[in-house]
Structure 1
Amino acid sequence: MHPALLLLLRLSSLLHLLSSAVAFPSNGTASNTSCTPARCGELNISYPFTLGGVQSFECGFPAFNLTCDASHRAYLSRTFRDHLYRVQEIFYDNNSLVVAMDTAFSGGDERCPVPDFNISSSLSLFPLIISGKNKEITFVCNCEVPPTMKLPQTCANRSIGAYFSEDTEARRATTNCSSVSVPVRAFQEKRQARDYVPMISDGFLLEWPALEDCDACMRRGGECRFVQLSIQCLCDGRPCPTSRRNGRESLAIKIGSGVAAALLCLLILAAVYLVILYKRKKRKRSASLVGLIRDEGTPPLVSLRKEFSMTGSPRTHIFTYEELDEATDGFSDARELGVGGFGTVYKGTL
């Protein structure tokens, strides 16, 4: 679930829990009351929704509590006006529902079912999203309404216009107008915006965030409860045990993590060993060069000079170790050419 939506879900539910704390005391554990799905007309109501007066408030999120009127029509309970959003359909498989406004009239004029409030603001305390699959009608007033979008009748003695919100030309022509936007279902786009009454009556699509914990609970045959701002899963009135499959998956994750950690340690140790081996090899190589030029207990260069004097090449220059060290930048790896008969061969600059 998206973190922001989860926070909104809990905050909106907390407001209801605070208002209901006296009437519904809780000890932090879900009760044994059954959360059998309820009905209001043709509407099947189950988690995360609850039907007020029929199901316990913990059978769903308090923000999703519904009211069923005498005509067997369901409404969202926690709205700033009674019977504002009528719930027409609930699609539990894709977390969406269709709602329609019933009592939203501009300026109290029942001949004009145009909302006089912002739809998105009125739903801001609900963890619900106005679906992007909807279209949107914009109503404008308090301005010179272009004739092409003017409604045939006045509303509360005002001229009102309507257009689909994606109409950029209409939007530019009404920049100085007061406006209210209303979502409608996408298949209504074949109609004219001025024919708004049946489109508003047909409602629009809302979505709620996925409840992964609850979905997993229901797959195990449990019932979801909402207790003290958290989800609890009950099986036969008791907390559901962790499934064997989940246990095996958890064990596999632990074993995999352990193996990965062990392999990482081995790689680190191998890298350290190679570095140490390389440094030792380099020290031995440098020592062999010193031994080649200076034998222990023998004056510097005596043996080599003697050897070269026997070859009849008195002009041959014998370099000291210090000279070679300076010429090769301390026998740097960058100066290394390869391996010869007497050891490593370096390139030097005199």
Structure 2
Amino acid sequence: MAPSCWFFWALWLPMMLAVAAAKEQQGEGCSDSAKRCSNVTISHPFWLRHNELERACGVPDFEVTCFHNTTPVLRSSVPIGYGLSIIDIDYGQRSLRVADAGKLELLSNDCLPVWNTSAKVGASFMIAPDNLNLVLYRCTEAASAVAVARRDRELVRTRMKCGDGSEVLVRAGGRYGETGGYGGYEGCDAAVTPVLGAHGKANASDYERLINYGFLLTWKPPRGSKKTTRMFIIFGSLGGLAALTVFVFYLLHQRKRKRAVASDELMRSGSSMTSYSKDLELGGSPHIFTFEELEVATDGFSASRELGDGGFGTVYKGKLKDGRVVAVKRLYKNNYRRVEQFLNEVDILSRLLHQNLVILYGCTSRMSRDLLLVYEFIANGTVADHLHGSRSAERGLTWPLRLNIAIETAEALAYLHAVEIIHRDVKTTNILLDNSFHVKVADFGLSRLFPLEVTHVSTVPQGTPGYVDPVYHQCYKLTDKSDVYSFGVVLVELISSKPAVDMSRSHSEINLANMALNRIQNHEVVQLVDPELGYDTDPETKRTIDRVAEVAFQCLQMERDLRPSIKEVVEILTCVRDGDCRAKSMKKKASQKEDAHLLTEGLQFSPDTVIHRFDSRSTNHSVASNASGL
């Protein structure tokens, strides 16, 4: 069997055993699909039983009852009192926020039968260290007067009184379980309950909100049977060892091959390509910020500081203590992929350095209550803003600027492809501009490393409608040519100033790529071009726009093999801008590739040669497929 086959079998075997162990743990005949109670999703290891007639389907500690069909309650907490209602569950962090709905009622009636440091919820849960102490004192009237007379600024009087006339006083602070500095007062009984607090601090005067907001529990994965666990350990170890051995040899081979290929490619590249290898920083660890300092930097993540809202999080403008203005990306909660996405983006960005890529300054730790990324702030907005967004009225993007934007964006993508990274979400809202209108490509949250000899990366559907490679929707495989397709859409946006998708356009032209293929194929580029660019009045502008339209046409081809590489795109666009394309070099390229007839000297409009070849096979099919790719 080939080494690659051994490698994948070694990876799959432990996963298959894990599934078997999960089935055994769950019980035969039980569904493993997620269920909902109110707005909380209940899935493994938690399981939901709506009534006592339903059979048990999991570990008792993780049983959830949907009380009155509106409130999920952790079953194992019911013997303690009223039970703990579940507010939300973070499966990635293995934590859940819970609250004792009956606590305030108990305080006012019976006085202090509350949660304390000895309380437990089954054997699988622990009180998270993120929680803070809320200390409650039941004091006689005299003791209350003495305590208040001490003017303890952390001691707060409440509206609750016990049946014997004693008062309930509260104070807050410190990590839960730490009792130093929280001694009692003479004539007072004390109890301690956990609360999450607000932004790392607890205000005792807001004790009702603190109690109702709840506190954080973490859990340990439930154990399977001894037999299953033993099998998992044995076969998992063997499989892991085999996978590791094959993978080490594979990496060594890849590293050697990559260095040889990169060295050869970069030596043959033009001056615009020479920065790729020297700009790659191997290693490099980003600075770790605290949640609190980024909260201060963004004015409490104020809505007035929002810069944008994407598929994985919201971006805020902030200012650090050292004076740097930054963009802070706050990843959405309750997203099971957010930790993976967070680590992936940090890993990639911390190792890349290129003049046309945004710089990652740092991030919060993995254990932070929110996952945050801190980038350099790019002041001049996005290309989309200037083309057809909030800044389009400024008309600041002349055609020469747009051509430079196209070249710098292609250079950034060529750098990524040279170091084996697919961007996966190339679009004008991810192309930022500095004050000199130089490009900074952003948002590598969808990027993945891919080996040179592997022809594709299989994945679930991702990307943005209007930019996604139409072949992707057929087989869910992304390649570097998928980035080339998306870049082709960007080129058409630069030519037309139109958005990639516009529902107000006619049905066949909702998708801009579809409109562009039709216009270019029918020699109607003039109907595609933004009238403000001077296409009809300046011959040089017309020449370069026509050539860029040709490049876009090839990038948007349905068949991936017919699209140029992004490196070839860089060379062609640079040649178009500088006007020094030599017929000899272009003819040489044409002889190497049947469909590469672009920019040959004396050619009036090269899509003719492309269209002629694709009349029966590709272009018409491409037009229809792009329309269905939304």
The TM-score, its normalising length taken from structure 2, stands at: 0.28
Give 1 or 2 for the bigger CA radius of gyration.
1
**Larger proportion of helix:** 2
By relative contact order (CA 8 Å, sep 6+), the higher-ranking structure is: 1
